[in-house]
Structure 1
């Protein structure tokens, strides 16, 4: 019995010794974790020359939620890897003054950077630090465009970004290459549909983004799908089922496929809203909201817009988490300075004759690309027939033409087989065709925004271009806005245009007309206390 008691006592002492060791180890581990956390916090507070992107903690990765999104999905899913940026030594060596001068030269403004983050702009593709497999995509480009230079360090660091930049500024690769890097950096295979979702307002823009993303994804072994209306769903459903990691879509068709169960968005961790202002103009906000409610709320979101009105600001508040804002040029509406703008005030009856004369001037070789914009579908048909009767080889695209006909016309225009194209505003923000020399506004658009988007088809990717606009007395209500745009772009204002006056009409709501007051949707509600 005594021997048995002794054995029990020894076993108890041994067990107690183990517990003490384990307790000391746990205590030591806890102290070590506290020490590391304290050091990380101190590093965040430093302002020396060091890489400014620090790996966020797991809690930071998981608990950064946008207001609109699926929180339960975020909590039940694996954490998202968001940080892939290691600052290049040459970029890290830039002084504050060098950064300021670089941004000033490129007309870059950056706001709302997290404390301690510098986001110095990169000046070469090598400095961005993309995976080796993506180097083939940037081959042939001399250097990053301004929006790419500044967006890459921000997005690769895992931050949400609002980019305010004109069309043709290189936006697709600005979000496309970080999106692919993000997908490649996620751990484990995704069985819940795409990793990256790109929403765009028009079919043409979806196709253009899809072409760029497909080329970039191909070198990395990733699959893409493009989803838009106006064509049968069967091929799009097949592409989605084939395991597309990147989906580019218009909101209406995608919402339909999601509700029908053909597209699962639970695996999306990188969301892009391209040309957000245009999507709001077209009334897509309810569709976008319904789509995003199917996506985890701790995603990374990137949004691009040509303008920064109150509606777009409200969209950023709802759909993003503390986004950094990067503006190229000015936040207000302005045309690219690479476009020379000619405005001709004429009698409406002279437009046909003047169009023929202008084409003989700008399209004498019949080989260079010229884009003619009109306002209405029937007008597009009439102008197309008029020019064909006068011996010009041309094609037209508008809403009444089938998607197949539109795609064929655009492709022939791109290939130079039919370098004269007539288009309505449905294509104004969807086309991205290199080497368009001239844009002719046969009929002035209904808004100054559409004017900027139209003439933005030329003067792209560092090249210069020219726009020629016919302005009649029917358009006089928009004379003041046009004068302001010309002055902002450093363009001469014709005396005939000044004769219409310089009053700028107050913008009205599409739903409520003049009986509309614009309010700050981001403002917090005022607390009202009533006396008992």
Structure 2
């Protein structure tokens, strides 16, 4: 989407080298059996790329505007209120077939406008059919909250209601929300199946299903839960399947779930062109934390970054790194699965409001972070796979912004 007056920022995504040296700030753990051994070798050259400034021509389909789509008048008004003019490339390719009730398999990197690409036609369908209900299944609480916020913007001043069903939050509050039969239910797999099993939500009532960030859900071991959810949905139905990358397991799931889908692929993952990427090598005689501190100090002096997101491989490592960085005067906190939902929400809110300017996160916890002014992403620990790397650096370089 084209947001008028959107401010660009320029920074970089950085990974630390120095392989073979023990990480002083996290406990080594064996590779997860779910991942196999995909992280045995990663070509470092993939992490080095000069920044190319984003342009409207690279991000948007300027040949189309939202007024070209056959949308409900109030939905069009809500889109216009956001100063959106032209659809992004994935929106231009996805919205029309979804309005025609086709199934869609879409691959696009984070920050490409993917959420609006599926929400706009799904909301339009609910406005045109009073019996239609939509289920959105996502891997993390943070992503569920982000999608709910977007849904409420596009559905403002309409009868379309929503509820979020996620682990770590009150069962009672969610059961109350489901009693009113909201048109949209945005859920993580575990809590959704819990409430379906206790008859608080009827999966057979949903005629539209959206799976977002499928690759992440599969990495988290949700494949059987997803299959169970899909088996209980209404048939026929419209299905949407979105993923930044398509692993063999994701392709297998898509084949079983989708019926003659429109396949949309945008933004090849081999290069995130608007993100400056480099490797900072740490020699055996150097301290990794001191190198990070110097990198942050130099960045603040030269480019004044607004917000920095640092990735740690483990929860323990994230907390230990935060404590060490606080000792050097940095305003920072951590985000990972061992924190309660209320704590995670508070930390993310502080980061968005710039009460802290550095957030240290694990890969899974970072999914769903939607903070448009993240200027730097730093891979303190090497990602397990190139797919993880794509997800990590997708937190910066959002629409029409460098990173």
TM value normalised by structure 2:
0.81
Q: Which residue of 1 aligns with 2:216?
A: 278
How many angstroms does 1:106 deviate by?
Answer: 5.7
Larger Rg: 1
| Structure-2 change in CA distance of 1:122 and 1:148 (3 Å) | farther
How many angstroms does 1:335 deviate by?
Answer: 4.2
Q: Distance in 2 between matches of 1:148 and 1:260?
A: 37
Q: Distance in 1 between matches of 2:225 and 2:283?
A: 42
How many angstroms does 1:291 deviate by?
Answer: 1.1
Deviations 1:192-234 (Å, cap 9, x if unpaired)? xx70000111111111111111222233221111111122211
Aligned residues: 343
How many angstroms does 1:432 deviate by?
Answer: 1.4
1:415 to 353, 360, 375: 353
Alignment of 1:391-470 (within 5 A): 391-465=329-403
Deviations 1:250-284 (Å, cap 9, x if unpaired)? 11110111011111122211110111121112111
1:151 to 79, 82, 94: 94
| Structure-2 change in CA distance of 1:454 and 1:182 (3 Å) | same
Pairing 1:357–2:261 present: no
Does the CA-based 8 Å contact 1:196-1:271 persist in structure 2?
yes
Does the CA-based 8 Å contact 1:274-1:305 persist in structure 2?
yes
* Secondary structure at 1:272 match in 2: strand
Q: Distance in 1 between matches of 2:365 and 2:309?
A: 11
Does the CA-based 8 Å contact 1:396-1:422 persist in structure 2?
yes
Alignment of 1:212-291 (within 5 A): 212-291=150-229
How many angstroms does 1:345 deviate by?
Answer: 1.9
Pairing 1:177–2:114 present: no
Does the CA-based 8 Å contact 1:107-1:328 persist in structure 2?
no
2:72 to 90, 110, 131: 131
Q: Distance in 2 between matches of 1:367 and 1:308?
A: 33
How many angstroms does 1:303 deviate by?
Answer: 0.7
Q: Which residue of 1 aligns with 2:36?
A: none
1:295 to 223, 233, 255: 233
TM value normalised by structure 1:
0.62
Q: Distance in 2 between matches of 1:392 and 1:280?
A: 35
| Structure-2 change in CA distance of 1:128 and 1:242 (3 Å) | same
1:345 to 266, 274, 281: 281
Q: Distance in 2 between matches of 1:251 and 1:282?
A: 11
Q: Distance in 2 between matches of 1:215 and 1:297?
A: 29
How many angstroms does 1:366 deviate by?
Answer: 7.0
Does the CA-based 8 Å contact 2:138-2:213 persist in structure 1?
yes
Q: Distance in 2 between matches of 1:415 and 1:366?
A: 16
Q: Distance in 1 between matches of 2:365 and 2:376?
A: 16
* Structure 2 residues without counterparts, runs of 5 or longer: 1-56
Does the CA-based 8 Å contact 1:437-1:458 persist in structure 2?
yes
Q: Which residue of 2 aligns with 1:316?
A: 254
Q: Distance in 1 between matches of 2:63 and 2:174?
A: 37
Alignment of 1:436-515 (within 5 A): 436-465=374-403
Pairing 1:165–2:108 present: yes
Does the CA-based 8 Å contact 1:363-1:370 persist in structure 2?
no
Does the CA-based 8 Å contact 1:201-1:250 persist in structure 2?
yes
* Secondary structure at 1:218 match in 2: coil
Q: Distance in 1 between matches of 2:181 and 2:380?
A: 45
Q: Which residue of 2 aligns with 1:93?
A: none
Cα RMSD (Å): 2.0
Q: Distance in 2 between matches of 1:335 and 1:206?
A: 27
Q: Distance in 1 between matches of 2:364 and 2:266?
A: 25
* Secondary structure at 2:164 match in 1: strand
How many angstroms does 1:137 deviate by?
Answer: 2.9
Runs of 4+ in 1 over 3 A off after TM superposition: 105-108, 363-367
How many angstroms does 1:390 deviate by?
Answer: 1.1
| Structure-2 change in CA distance of 1:244 and 1:374 (3 Å) | same
* Structure 1 residues without counterparts, runs of 5 or longer: 1-104, 109-119, 466-532
